[in-house]
Structure 1
């Protein structure tokens, strides 16, 4: 029998992965030798997404999306112990913990890591800005215009435009709208790094968020001269960021006594360098080799892919050296709204009789609409939609764009629109894949992860629209499993992420294959989609409409 004093054999070692999502956090306990998930726990955030008013009552403007740091700590206090209890594995067998976060979710803090939200709870800019905080679009527009005017070389690494979701746009918004608070913010830190700080007691910054969300390229951030041209007080902004960046899979530190008391994990176990939810999922799917594009599909979709080629891909979210695995270029693209669009439609546009019919059949409204939609042949509804209800991340990088549905008549039914919205998100993904390949970065395998993999009809639509097979991740908890894989590397159980992913990650190759007849029919609809996409890409119509709100 193993005791705490005896060494733990390789077959008995475990790691914990903790995934901090948009509405909840999940912890998973994973066996190191083969990636088997033996226990999990979930904790819903008490505050969820703060997008209308602060807890203290102050109203928020359009496009705001905030979170509460205390909610994240509660995941450590509740979800991790739940996972340990479910697994019934002695804590002494756990050798490491890894974490991942949504990004760019960023917060202002003091030099010791205290969130300004704890000190100034009545001030909106003191709170962490969630990834889908889009109120910094004017600042992003100014950054892009100035960078293009000056020919800043880093802009090409982001497809020609940086996003309002990222660190510099949100930081500039803080400066311009609350200069006093900006001065009090000694740190501007990704939640992915802040949570690791709480676990280890040591500040660290990871190469992934710095590169993709912090415009860190070729050893540095945008120049002081450039930032000063935006606002003289913005010149020293990089001093609030990290400079000694840590590699993915690296050891950030060890678990403190305080964090051990929160989690029930042994003090002193390895804590992996922080990471982003989408990027760790590539390891969970064992898809970290060149040409394997992983689409993490949920409320939004993030596309990540490693490659040994460096190219400028229009509208990509970024290409970062060592951004997914050390030694390769990591590419990222994405769609701002996918599952969110389907949820919006169900919540706002479906008659009561559909809800009643779904309940009578023992189905959710989504399942009922899917069942009706999949009975139709391709194109029967006569609709084409643009999937820009949350703006367009790739390839247009404009969060002030909006959704569009063309072809509706008095005969159009809810299932018609629901299907058209599903198809629109697939068309948006095809635009991204085609843009990569046209730029000389081949996509050899398309791997799907995330909550939407459960919708078999949606998966088949994507296979048909993309005209290529879809591989599926072998876990329903991809980010948490990916974080656990990184923990195993940080603890020394594997020499690198690639070997750990091969042992612990899993996917089902070619789980869905395209039907040639449907694919041919979708080509015609896609041609119409591209026409609409290009016609409305300049934003002249949609920006004017948005200004009326």
Structure 2
């Protein structure tokens, strides 16, 4: 059995969109010795609640918090068994979560969807990060912030997202005021799962800053919230809780959580964190100038800076938001792997409906041979436009267009979107010298080379297939006192393969020409040249309005 020689271990738990993964890691060197995955029983609730009832309106995405507890009950013991590690050798546990994934609870942390009389009300459930139905509420928050010259709006690139706490909270108030009133807490799932582990309510500085509009020690003022809606004046009080820096100890593992996980009661539980942000430590990407792109269903881009910079359209800049002692800048794309998956599952013909086959065929093309440009907005635009009512587009289709042509154009579109983000950072004074890529998409060699060519930067690859879980384990080691800070733990436990993909000069020049066309389309359809995408979204929503109205009648 591992651990008999006195080695110490930590557990990292990564909560993704569809499943949770537990990873057992050796403290001394970050060696990954055991892992297990548990798929959420309910997945993403986009059609209706688990017990049935009316159809959910468009752009809703909910989850069941019991699925999160099941990850602790199933994946953690299975990972320990896979590692053959004596649980007594485990000194800490850390977790990370998708964000902004948020839920209303009672004062003791009980989710409102678990209160029997509220279970049938959609607004009582967890709102997943890709719940985009709060776009009109985000628009109102942005408009009022600019009208009042609120000082915090520039820290978010001029626009806060429909995915974030305040937009979702305002939607909750205005569509189900009774559930809003019953919600004594409105809490990120990243903090809620820590609450479940140690029976102590805490808030982490990362989600509070990036998703909760907390800047310079405060949330938006009561006057601002009251101007949005008089009933919204108390919203910041629902976000109260001890605010702790990343890598801190939130508390000891409770007896209840020890029974779930098989871990010793009393070990350190690290403060909650975001899946993308913990990955920076796992990828040894904490130094300024090194951007980490965590690529999965969506992509999050994070880069530390020595000082705050206001970058138009970014997700935010937060003091200590990625690691202590630096200003963490974040941007992102709402759809990446999801776009490729959509094409394979919904549009590719029989015989070609696999990523492997389409990649093989697409890789044989010279740059630009397909004659296509795509816009990567299948799930809206997170950065730089911050508008989730936008949609995808492919230009240049002809009767000669083949499935592999479209597939490659979709791959390229996400690289173009990343280049837009990088250029915005650089223009605002935030250096981006190289990229480190993490996530499941790193296995696609064509995609990685496209990113190196489009961005004209070397690409390193994280040396772990489980970047977020490893990052959470690194933070657990710090919380347990094994390392003095996250930087030291990252040096010892993180890993990266440097410069695996280098830009090809010929491809760089060819992609510069295509990128110019992408940027023209991006600005025309995303910056008001033609709002056809928004009009089409309104027509679609009107066509399915009856089911949506039925839901609101039930919950109102």
TM more than 0.5 = yes
Q: Structure 1: which 5+ residue stretches go unaligned?
A: 356-364
**Aligned equivalents of 1:351, 1:265: Cα separation in 2:** 48
| CA shift digits 1:139-158 (9 cap, x unpaired) | 00000000011110100000
Corresponding residue number in structure 2 for 1:224: 222
Q: Give the deviation of 1:537 after TM superposition.
A: 1.2
Q: Give the deviation of 1:133 after TM superposition.
A: 0.2
Corresponding residue number in structure 2 for 1:359: none
Which of 394, 406, 421 is the equivalent residue of 2:410? 421
Q: Give the deviation of 1:352 after TM superposition.
A: 1.9
Return 492-501 or 57-66, whichever deviates more.
57-66
Corresponding residue number in structure 2 for 1:206: 204
**Aligned equivalents of 1:144, 1:275: Cα separation in 2:** 26
* Residues 425-436 of structure 1: pairs in structure 2 closer than 5 A: 425-436=414-425
**Aligned equivalents of 2:527, 2:314: Cα separation in 1:** 17
Q: Give the deviation of 1:442 after TM superposition.
A: 0.5
**Aligned equivalents of 1:66, 1:102: Cα separation in 2:** 13
**Aligned equivalents of 1:282, 1:538: Cα separation in 2:** 31
**Aligned equivalents of 2:434, 2:86: Cα separation in 1:** 39
**Aligned equivalents of 2:518, 2:129: Cα separation in 1:** 27
Corresponding residue number in structure 2 for 1:42: 37
The answer (yes or no) to whether the contact 2:2–2:84 under 8 Å persists in 1 is no
Corresponding residue number in structure 2 for 1:292: 290
* Residues 449-528 of structure 1: pairs in structure 2 closer than 5 A: 449-528=438-517
Corresponding residue number in structure 1 for 2:184: 186
Aligned-partner SS, 1:548: helix
Corresponding residue number in structure 1 for 2:549: none
Corresponding residue number in structure 2 for 1:99: 95
* Residues 377-388 of structure 1: pairs in structure 2 closer than 5 A: 377-388=366-377
**Aligned equivalents of 2:325, 2:243: Cα separation in 1:** 15
Q: Give the deviation of 1:97 after TM superposition.
A: 0.3
Q: Does 1:60 align with 2:49?
A: no
* Cα RMSD (Å): 1.2
Q: Give the deviation of 1:272 after TM superposition.
A: 0.3
Which of 82, 85, 100 is the equivalent residue of 1:86? 82
Q: Give the deviation of 1:2 after TM superposition.
A: 11
Aligned-partner SS, 1:12: coil
| CA shift digits 1:85-143 (9 cap, x unpaired) | 00111111110000000000000000011000111210000000000000000000000
Q: Give the deviation of 1:242 after TM superposition.
A: 2.7
Corresponding residue number in structure 2 for 1:242: 240
Corresponding residue number in structure 1 for 2:147: 149
Corresponding residue number in structure 1 for 2:8: 13
Q: Does 1:548 align with 2:546?
A: no
**Aligned equivalents of 1:548, 1:2: Cα separation in 2:** 60
Q: Give the deviation of 1:289 after TM superposition.
A: 1.1
Q: Structure 2: which 5+ residue stretches go unaligned?
A: 541-556
The answer (yes or no) to whether the contact 2:296–2:337 under 8 Å persists in 1 is yes
The answer (yes or no) to whether the contact 2:2–2:86 under 8 Å persists in 1 is no
Q: How many residues align?
A: 535
**Aligned equivalents of 2:179, 2:303: Cα separation in 1:** 37
**Aligned equivalents of 1:467, 1:202: Cα separation in 2:** 46
**Aligned equivalents of 1:291, 1:352: Cα separation in 2:** 44
Corresponding residue number in structure 2 for 1:117: 113
Q: Give the deviation of 1:243 after TM superposition.
A: 4.8
* Residues 158-197 of structure 1: pairs in structure 2 closer than 5 A: 158-197=156-195
The answer (yes or no) to whether the contact 2:137–2:171 under 8 Å persists in 1 is yes
Corresponding residue number in structure 2 for 1:361: none
**Aligned equivalents of 2:243, 2:287: Cα separation in 1:** 23
Query: Structure 1 residue runs of 4+, over 6 Å off?
Result: none
Return 449-458 or 54-63, whichever deviates more.
54-63
| CA shift digits 1:259-298 (9 cap, x unpaired) | 0000000010000000000000000011111111100000
| CA shift digits 1:405-444 (9 cap, x unpaired) | 1111111111000000000000000000001000111112
**Aligned equivalents of 2:303, 2:244: Cα separation in 1:** 20
**Aligned equivalents of 1:180, 1:468: Cα separation in 2:** 52
**Aligned equivalents of 2:170, 2:483: Cα separation in 1:** 41
Aligned-partner SS, 2:300: strand
Aligned-partner SS, 1:153: coil
| CA shift digits 1:213-260 (9 cap, x unpaired) | 000000000000000000001001001003531000000000011100
Q: Give the deviation of 1:354 after TM superposition.
A: 2.4
Corresponding residue number in structure 2 for 1:312: 310
The answer (yes or no) to whether the contact 2:202–2:241 under 8 Å persists in 1 is no
**Aligned equivalents of 1:227, 1:309: Cα separation in 2:** 29
**Aligned equivalents of 2:300, 2:62: Cα separation in 1:** 20
The answer (yes or no) to whether the contact 2:201–2:241 under 8 Å persists in 1 is no
The answer (yes or no) to whether the contact 2:133–2:162 under 8 Å persists in 1 is yes
Corresponding residue number in structure 1 for 2:256: 258
